[in-house]
Structure 1
Amino acid sequence: MSPIIMATLTVFTRLVSIRGTYAKLLGLPHPLLVKCDGFVYGRSVMAYMCTDQSYMYDLLVIGGGSGGLAAAKEAVGLNAKVAVLDYVTPSPIGTTWGLGGTCINVGCIPKKLMHQAALLGEAVHEATKFGWQLPDPKTVKIDWEALTTAVQNHIKSVNWVTRVELRTKKIEYINALGHFKDAHTIVGVTKKGEEKILTAKNILIAVGGRPKYPDIPGALEYGISSDDIFSLNRAPGKTLLIGAGYIGLECAGFLNGLGYDATIMVRSIVLRGFDQQMVNLIVKEMEHRGVHFIYQAKPKKIAKQEDGRLLVDWVDKDGQIHQDVYDTVLFAIGRRALIEDLKPENAGLKIVPETNKIDAINEQTNVPNIYAVGDVLHKRPELTPVAINAGKLLARRLFGNSTEQMDYTNVATTVFTPLEYGCVGLSEEEAIMLHGEEEIEIYHAYYKPTEFFIPQKQVDHCYVKVIALRNGDERVLGMHFVGPNAGEVIQGFAVAIKCGLTIPKLKSTVGIHPTVAEEFTRIFITKRSGLDPSPQSCCS
């Protein structure tokens, strides 16, 4: 630093020292001083010196997924200098992918495309009942190679568009695996093993997570995960899905819909954290479609036979060992946050031991200049839109003088099982725990989707539930929907709940007929009444 600049900074520091003394006496942070490179200077002067001269970037994002990219794009639009560090470690069987994170490459997008493929197959089999002249639907089969090729081509196009967008916005993209050297310094290791030293005033952790594997013989050698299924180079055939979270159910659902034998192994309960009445409905519906469930069991070992198929041993609740042979074993037993690879101890980052995640307040970690969004956060929804919104709002606070915080309550979500389940707000169990059974009212109804009439599809599991406070303004606490297009339906009602939806307002809303979404506006039977919630007619 030049003598002239040093002298200017020294004079400025002395001018604000009196105000700083008062701040110290009151126990407040100094209002005009900032520490940079081991020296304390005036904030207004060092805002330029520290940001533009001491560090390479205003914001360095570790992780090229939805949350990190959203923050990066928002920050650069607010004139921040930004870089994104991204690297994909291959899965145990060698699967890797491009820029964009889990959602684009091995999550929401390919999952929804394969879900749609299964729904189209179902529609083909129903089409003749609507009068379509088709070959025998029993001869209609999926071409797995054609499906995965189409899905991967779409993903690659999104990878390319994402790269171009970063280049256009002048966000530096660095394909390297990063870890902390200190709170402001990241070491990026490239595929060739070369190290790059990167410094930033602010660092955002957005590395997400990867699937867990059980510690049993054969798991890593022969098992796959959701990282692999969407680009699997062979038809999955008879598949065992170990784990009954939303990933396990969704994968089993579309595999069954594509014509493959699918079995779900459940260790404890299905869809932990979701409304269990709704969960039971979708499980029964999946069983009706032919998905098999093995309850209260866990795998013991996997061995490859001479014919290439996989022999799986599992243990039931009584300790008895069972065996069966499968073509594919897919693990969906949860995900681990990619925290350890970051060497957080070098930056003084505190990690929650039980979850190996970061406990942050308004996305700010215990290290003031280090932030986190997405699946690495402790007790936050592991959902792409949550990470995106949190990333954008954080960037606005850091570089746009915004004060708006991320609201993690009443976040809507959908499980894309064959008959979808969408929800927003509290489950019945949560509402009872928070408010007490006598303080809530539960409205519910079964219904018949019009599109189910002609093909005579089963309607036993199409169901809506609205949970509300019993007294006062009868504010709605939660809404649950099992049926076609649940994601589209619940999205609109999520906005209504954000706006303070009440039962009188819901009942006074005129529905669009005939739709499945209108069923929410027609609720009138409560569980407390004991009346039959079955529909009387399509218009009752």
Structure 2
Amino acid sequence: MAETYDYDLFTIGAGSGGTRASRVSAGHGAKVAIAEEYRVGGTCVIRGCVPKKMLIYGAHFAEDLEDAQRFGWTVDNCTFDWKTLRDNVQDDVDRLNGAYTDTLENHGVEIFHERAEITGPHSVKLASGREVTAKYILVACGARPHVPECGGSDLGITSNDAFHLEELPKRILIAGGGYIANEFAGIFNEFGTKVTIINRSKTLLRQYDQALRDRLLQISIAKGIDFRFDAEFESIERTDEGCLRVHMSNHEPMDVDCVMYATGRVPNTEGLGLENAGVELDEKGAIKVDEYSQTSCESIYAVGDCTPRIQLTPVAIREGQAFADTIFGGNKTAVDLSCVPSAVFSHPPIASVGLTEGDAKNKLGSVKVYQSDFRPMKNVLAGRDERSLYKMVCDAANDRIVGIHLIGPDAPEILQAAAVAVKAGLTKADFDATVAIHPTMAEELVLLK
């Protein structure tokens, strides 16, 4: 006699990956429940990509309003009110939280607004004390910002807190060299805050092409952002004047009004009871999975940022979809992570897909690199010296494009279509044979030399 369970699937975490997996599994006919201890929507919707992009839109107006005068517009008495933007962004977060909740409920997914912990291969205990069983358990609990260990570390904030500041700091120190650090540095700088980035190494955005990293650093310095490299926290203390004094290695102490940590993210796997089902973790606390997201316990799967794969929302969504199709849709599916495009919404933004020039040389030996270093038309008339850089890396043996890397206005919007071409294995000749759309920045992609 087959064993019966309360649910076919119980998902822990209602972020992008968990929501997609639960909704699609229900669509395949499964009886599904999901537990979320905070708000439905997860990091991306509630405290990550979406509200951050809205802040980035707001920050762009600083330069746009300045440039408008060169285009004949008279812009007088412009002021910026942080609380207006902050509250409007949170209003839209509330809307999205409701939309995600409605989506789950409309697909028949039962939502438990409380924490859940695994008690066995097929059982979960809710914070309310109720214990339920499921044929399959999916862990999609995401990750949280890492906080460095040093005296006074509790005086700092993370990206989670940045969306709720009562007022803008006059001086902020942002720790980290990744995309979150560089994005918030651009945001606060445009809002008039004095920004300093400290990083424990000499390298920013190490997974991106060297030429783009160098260009962003050059532009950021020109915009007034300061950098301190080879700097690690030693201690943070509050002074009698009320500011924060930061002591760091290899540099003099500095006083700021706010310290923000952007030093990586940690899987939310502690206290989930994973050991009760024999689920193995790696050395960083991420859940080990195979290509089908299955853990070391055959009835438990995991997707998204709690696994040691790529921490990107679209990747989590693909993993959630693949899980649902594999387990409940009769279509065994693995996600191809070999050519994933990504972006840094810095000022200006970076977008990249495929191999960097350095990685391509190491992997392929002989490569051909084509690039365009140009000043966008808008910057010319606005009197800005800021230049964009587009770069294409090709396998010298067959002309196939193995990487495209852009820095400049709207780079992520432009790269999305180009990423399809790289994924499809197109060649430089295919781009050369395509007529340009003129005048655009995107036309540089089919005119690279």
TM-score bucket of the superposed structures, by smaller chain = over 0.9
Match of residue 246 from structure 2: 312
Q: C-alpha distance in 1, partners of 2:271/2:445? A: 46
Letter matched to residue 290 of structure 1 = G
Q: C-alpha distance in 2, partners of 1:359/1:170? A: 28
Q: C-alpha distance in 1, partners of 2:361/2:421? A: 22
Q: C-alpha distance in 2, partners of 1:198/1:279? A: 49
**SS of residue in 2 equivalent to 1:203:** strand
Q: CA deviation at 1:448?
A: 2.4
Residue 496 of structure 1 pairs with residue 421 of structure 2: yes
- 1:385-396 equivalences under 5 Å are 385-396=314-325
Residue 479 of structure 1 pairs with residue 404 of structure 2: yes
Identity of aligned residues (%): 33
Structure 2: state its 5+ residue gaps.
Answer: none
Q: CA deviation at 1:355?
A: 5.3
Q: C-alpha distance in 2, partners of 1:364/1:429? A: 33
Match of residue 464 from structure 1: 390
Match of residue 518 from structure 1: 443
Selected match of 1:272 from 191, 196, 206: 206
Q: C-alpha distance in 1, partners of 2:356/2:306? A: 24
Residue 131 of structure 1 pairs with residue 131 of structure 2: no
Contact 1:263 1:292 in 2 (8 A): yes
Residue 72 of structure 1 pairs with residue 22 of structure 2: yes
Match of residue 9 from structure 2: 59
**SS of residue in 1 equivalent to 2:440:** coil
Letter matched to residue 195 of structure 1 = G
Q: 418-427 or 497-506, which moves further after superposition?
A: 497-506
Letter matched to residue 110 of structure 2 = E
Q: CA deviation at 1:341?
A: 2.2
Q: C-alpha distance in 1, partners of 2:231/2:120? A: 44
**SS of residue in 1 equivalent to 2:353:** strand
Residue 244 of structure 1 pairs with residue 170 of structure 2: no
Contact 2:117 2:271 in 1 (8 A): yes
- 1:404-423 equivalences under 5 Å are 404-423=333-352
Match of residue 366 from structure 1: 296
Q: C-alpha distance in 1, partners of 2:131/2:30? A: 19
Contact 1:443 1:523 in 2 (8 A): yes
- Cα RMSD of the aligned pairs, angstroms, is 1.3
Q: C-alpha distance in 2, partners of 1:303/1:463? A: 41
Q: C-alpha distance in 2, partners of 1:237/1:228? A: 17
Q: C-alpha distance in 2, partners of 1:514/1:274? A: 28
Q: C-alpha distance in 2, partners of 1:497/1:213? A: 37
**SS of residue in 2 equivalent to 1:262:** strand
Match of residue 168 from structure 2: 235
Q: CA deviation at 1:237?
A: 2.3
**SS of residue in 1 equivalent to 2:24:** helix
Q: CA deviation at 1:141?
A: 3.3
Residue 286 of structure 1 pairs with residue 223 of structure 2: no
Residue 223 of structure 1 pairs with residue 164 of structure 2: no
Q: CA deviation at 1:471?
A: 1.5
Q: C-alpha distance in 1, partners of 2:85/2:440? A: 31
Contact 1:310 1:325 in 2 (8 A): yes
Residue 170 of structure 1 pairs with residue 108 of structure 2: yes
Question: After superposition, what is the alpha-carbon deviation per residue over 1:490-530, rounded to whole angstroms, capped at 9, x for unaligned?
Answer: 10011111221111111111121111111110012xxxxxx
Q: C-alpha distance in 2, partners of 1:203/1:265? A: 41
Residue 152 of structure 1 pairs with residue 90 of structure 2: yes
Q: 451-460 or 384-393, which moves further after superposition?
A: 451-460
Q: C-alpha distance in 2, partners of 1:449/1:504? A: 25
Q: C-alpha distance in 2, partners of 1:181/1:211? A: 27
Residue 204 of structure 1 pairs with residue 130 of structure 2: no
**SS of residue in 2 equivalent to 1:453:** helix
Q: CA deviation at 1:354?
A: 4.3
Contact 2:22 2:109 in 1 (8 A): yes
Match of residue 103 from structure 1: 44
- TM-score scaled by structure 1? 0.81
Q: C-alpha distance in 1, partners of 2:249/2:62? A: 35
Q: CA deviation at 1:151?
A: 0.7
Q: CA deviation at 1:308?
A: 2.1
Q: 260-269 or 443-452, which moves further after superposition?
A: 443-452
Letter matched to residue 298 of structure 2 = P
Q: C-alpha distance in 2, partners of 1:132/1:390? A: 48
Question: After superposition, what is the alpha-carbon deviation per residue over 1:108-136, rounded to whole angstroms, capped at 9, x for unaligned?
Answer: 0111111111111210111111001221x
Q: C-alpha distance in 1, partners of 2:170/2:141? A: 33
Q: 242-251 or 424-433, which moves further after superposition?
A: 424-433
Match of residue 23 from structure 1: none
**SS of residue in 1 equivalent to 2:279:** coil
Contact 2:197 2:228 in 1 (8 A): yes
Q: C-alpha distance in 2, partners of 1:262/1:196? A: 48
Q: CA deviation at 1:372?
A: 1.0
Q: C-alpha distance in 2, partners of 1:515/1:127? A: 19
Q: C-alpha distance in 1, partners of 2:425/2:350? A: 22
Selected match of 2:276 from 342, 346, 349: 346
Q: 298-307 or 245-254, which moves further after superposition?
A: 298-307
Q: CA deviation at 1:361?
A: 2.7
Match of residue 509 from structure 1: 434
Contact 2:292 2:322 in 1 (8 A): no
- TM-score scaled by structure 2? 0.97
Q: CA deviation at 1:271?
A: 1.0
Residue 443 of structure 1 pairs with residue 373 of structure 2: no
Contact 1:360 1:372 in 2 (8 A): no
Q: 448-457 or 99-108, which moves further after superposition?
A: 448-457
Q: 361-370 or 327-336, which moves further after superposition?
A: 361-370
Q: CA deviation at 1:350?
A: 1.0
Say which one has the larger Rg. Answer: 1
Match of residue 267 from structure 2: 337
Contact 1:177 1:188 in 2 (8 A): yes
Contact 1:85 1:177 in 2 (8 A): yes
**SS of residue in 2 equivalent to 1:79:** coil
Q: CA deviation at 1:257?
A: 1.0
**SS of residue in 1 equivalent to 2:271:** helix
Letter matched to residue 158 of structure 1 = L
Match of residue 38 from structure 1: none
Q: 223-232 or 361-370, which moves further after superposition?
A: 361-370
Q: C-alpha distance in 2, partners of 1:467/1:404? A: 30
Q: C-alpha distance in 1, partners of 2:107/2:302? A: 22
Point out which structure has higher relative CO (alpha carbons under 8 A, 6+ apart).
2
Contact 1:142 1:259 in 2 (8 A): no
Query: What count of residue pairs does the alignment treat as equivalent?
Result: 448
Q: C-alpha distance in 2, partners of 1:337/1:255? A: 27
Question: After superposition, what is the alpha-carbon deviation per residue over 1:227-276, rounded to whole angstroms, capped at 9, x for unaligned?
Answer: 10011122222100011111000000111011111110011121122222
Structure 1: state its 5+ residue gaps.
Answer: 1-8, 10-45, 89-97, 525-540
